C-alpha cells in the first residue's frame, strides 16, 4: 500500500529523517514506533502532504503520492484539532465535506457514527463542553467518516478510559477487516503487541529494526525458559546449563533455565522425568525490545 524510499527531511540544520525506507502492506495494521524526536510525526506529515520531503519518494499503491490521495487518507493527529466553539454535528459535517462527501452522504454517516459511539443525543453539544474522552471520540469519527483506505492514528488511545479504549480497539480491528490499511503510532507497546502485524522502529531519523512482529520478537529471544515441575529437578550431568530458582506458582518447584543451544529437546525430556507442570520460553516484550535496541543504538 505504501512504499517510502530514501525519505530525507531537514528542519534548519536538524536532519529529522535521514533516508527512511519502509513498506506497509495493504490491509494491515502497521506500528510506526520510535523514541521522542525519532521522526515519526515528520513522516506522518509527509504522508498527509502537510510537509514535502527534501529527498525520496512515497508511493501509494505504486503511484507517486499526490493531492488526489488526500481524500483517501484519514488522519487522527496527536494534537487534537477540533473547533471548540462548534457543535459536534456541524463540526463533523464540515470536516466530512472537506474530505469530499456530499452533504446528504455526510449526514447519513454522521448519524451512523454518532450512534455507534452513543453520542446521538450530543449532536448539538459544543466540543468545548465535552469531556476529553468524548471529544476524542468525535475526533476519531472525523478521521474515519470518509471511509479512508489509509488511516493514520497517532496515539489514538490518549484520554480514553479502559472501556472506551477497548471500544476503539474493536473499531480499529473492524476497519481493518473492512479493508483499510492502518498506520498506528504510539508509545504504548502493549497495544502494538495486540494490534500490529508489522512494525518499524525508527531512531534519529533512520530505520533501526522492523518486519513482522513475531519475527522481531524471535530475534530478541534470550534462550531462557521458565518451568515448573512436581518434584525437585536436577541438571543432567555434564551440562553447562544456567539455572535459577523461582517462586513456584502451581505448588511444585520452579526454575529459570538457560540450556546450551539446541538442547531444548534434551531439557524437556529431563524435566518430564520430574513431572513437568509448566514450560514457557521467555519471549521479550516489545517494551523490552524498544528499550534495549534504542539504548544500544
Ligand X SMILES: Nc1ncnc2c1ncn2[C@@H]1O[C@H](COP(=O)(O)OP(=O)(O)OP(=O)(O)O)[C@@H](O)[C@H]1O
Per CB under 6 A, residues contacting ligand X are 11, 14, 16, 34, 36-42
**Minimum distance between the CB of residue 57 and ligand X, rounded to whole angstroms?**
19
Residues 263 and 231: beta-carbon distance below 8 Å: no
Q: Which is nearer to ligand X, 12 or 238 (CB)?
A: 12
**Minimum distance between the CB of residue 186 and ligand X, rounded to whole angstroms?**
9
Rounded to whole angstroms, how far apart are CA atoms 155 and 183? 11
Q: Which is nearer to ligand X, 14 or 68 (CB)?
A: 14
**Minimum distance between the CB of residue 14 and ligand X, rounded to whole angstroms?**
5
**Minimum distance between the CB of residue 54 and ligand X, rounded to whole angstroms?**
13
Return the residue matching grid coordinates 531519523: 205
Of 224, 223, 237, 227, nearest to 276 (Cα)?
227
Q: Which is nearer to ligand X, 36 or 237 (CB)?
A: 36
Q: Which is nearer to ligand X, 45 or 253 (CB)?
A: 45
Q: Which is nearer to ligand X, 39 or 89 (CB)?
A: 39
Of 238, 231, 243, nearest to 272 (Cα)?
231
Q: Which is nearer to ligand X, 16 or 151 (CB)?
A: 16
Amino acid at each position: 500500500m505504501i512504499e517510502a524510499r530514501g525519505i530525507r527531511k531537514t528542519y534548519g540544520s536538524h536532519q529529522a529523517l535521514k533516508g527512511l525506507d519502509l513498506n506497509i502492506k495493504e490491509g494491515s495494521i502497521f506500528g510506526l514506533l520510535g523514541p521522542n524526536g525519532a521522526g515519526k510525526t515528520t513522516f506522518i506529515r509527509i504522508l498527509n502532504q502537510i510537509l514535502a520531503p527534501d529527498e525520496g519518494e512515497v508511493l501509494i499503491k505504486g503511484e507517486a503520492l499526490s493531492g488526489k490521495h488526500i481524500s483517501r487518507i484519514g488522519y487522527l493527529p496527536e494534537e487534537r484539532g477540533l473547533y471548540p466553539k462548534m457543535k459536534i454535528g456541524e463540526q463533523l459535517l464540515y470536516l466530512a465535506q472537506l474530505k469530499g462527501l456530499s452533504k446528504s452522504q455526510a449526514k447519513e454517516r454522521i448519524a451512523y457514527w454518532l450512534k455507534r459511539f452513543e453520542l446521538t443525543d450530543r449532536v448539538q453539544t459544543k466540543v468545548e463542553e465535552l469531556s476529553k474522552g468524548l471529544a476524542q471520540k468525535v475526533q476519531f469519527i472525523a478521521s474515519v467518516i470518509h471511509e479512508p483506505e489509509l488511516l493514520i492514528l497517532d496515539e489514538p488511545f490518549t484520554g480514553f478510559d479502559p472501556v472506551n479504549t477497548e471500544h476503539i480497539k474493536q473499531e480499529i480491528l473492524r476497519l481493518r477487516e473492512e479493508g483499510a490499511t492502518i498506520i498506528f503510532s504510539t508509545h504504548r507497546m502493549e497495544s502494538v503487541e495486540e494490534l500490529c502485524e508489522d512494525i518499524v522502529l525508527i531512531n534519529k531519523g533512520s530505520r533501526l529494526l522492523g518486519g513482522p512482529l513475531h519475527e522481531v520478537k524471535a530475534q530478541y529471544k534470550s534462550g531462557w525458559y521458565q518451568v515448573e515441575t512436581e518434584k525437585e529437578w536436577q541438571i543432567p550431568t555434564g551440562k553447562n546449563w544456567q539455572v535459577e530458582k523461582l517462586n513456584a506458582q502451581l505448588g511444585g518447584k520452579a526454575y529459570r533455565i538457560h540450556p546450551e543451544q539446541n538442547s531444548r529437546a534434551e531439557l524437556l525430556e529431563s524435566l518430564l522425568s520430574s513431572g513437568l507442570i509448566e514450560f514457557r520460553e521467555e519471549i521479550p516484550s516489545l517494551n523490552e525490545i524498544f528499550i534495549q535496541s534504542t539504548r544500544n543504538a
